[in-house]
Amino acid sequence: MMKIAFANKSLSVFILLMNIYFLYGTYEIIKTHGGPMGIALIALPVFLSINLFIISAIFTRSEKWQTSKSLLILNSIGTILIFFVIYLFTSI
């Protein structure tokens, strides 16, 4: 049980820290209406789906949900998605 709690806490901290960048990116896309030709609107659904993982990360911070396997799966999916998007951004 302790290993699940540690993994959940670690992944939730990573998701919350990375969402600082993705929340700002979402705000900028919405503020500029997608840029000059609206091209950034293509990335908006991806950014919003990453932002949704904040919910599972916040639930994980509570003592009651730290050992939840379903939240561990959600946080793992969120972390994989964040790594994939960062890989796409850095490989261009």
pLDDT band for position 1 (cuts 50, 70, 90): low
Tell me which residue of 27, 13, 18 sits closest to 50, measured CA to CA: 18
Say if CB 47 and CB 26 are below 8 A apart: yes
Separation between Cα atoms, residue 13 and residue 57, nearest integer Å: 7
Q: Is the pLDDT of residue 47 over 90?
A: yes
The 10s digit of each residue's pLDDT in 49-68 is 999 999 999 999 988 888 89
What whole-number distance in Å separates Cα of residue 50 and Cα of residue 2? 27
pTM over 0.85: yes
- Helix (H/G/I), strand (E/B), else coil: 27: helix
